[in-house]
Amino acid sequence: MMYRQGDLLLIQRESNPLLVEAPTDIIMEGTITGHHHRVKKGKIFFKQIDRNHVFAFLVADEGCELKHDEHRTIKIPKGIYEARRQREVRGYVED
């Protein structure tokens, strides 16, 4: 299962390969407007590979909500999700 919110794409995975929980509710920072993608009732994990590469995962033990000032709130069901930045799509795709 996949979920998209602006430039954030969540891809469901079978396991969480990252061990360090982040003390934040921000899963991805906004690049242009400064608005961030925030998680309510989920846990975020980061792993820094090198100076320019960071992997992020969302663990929703009981489901969670993904919030952003410019997009509708998305309810994410229980699961583990890899977070990726993507090019934001506008137009016929509901956002």
Question: For 9-21, what is each residue's pLDDT tens digit?
Answer: 999 998 877 668 8
pLDDT at residue 55, as a whole number? 83
Q: Which residue has the tokens 């360090």?
A: 20
Do the Cβ atoms of 25 and 49 come closer than 8 Å? no
Alpha carbon distance 16, 68 (integer Å): 24
Residue 8's beta-bridge partner residues? 5, 85
pLDDT category at 37 given cuts 50, 70, 90 is very high
pLDDT at residue 91, as a whole number? 54
8 vs 15: which has the higher pLDDT? 8
Alpha carbon distance 87, 16 (integer Å): 25
Give residue-wise pLDDT tens across range 43-77. 999 877 777 777 889 999 999 999 998 889 999 99
pLDDT at residue 86, as a whole number? 81
pTM assigned to the model: 0.80
62 Cβ contact list (under 8 Å, min separation 6)? 41, 78
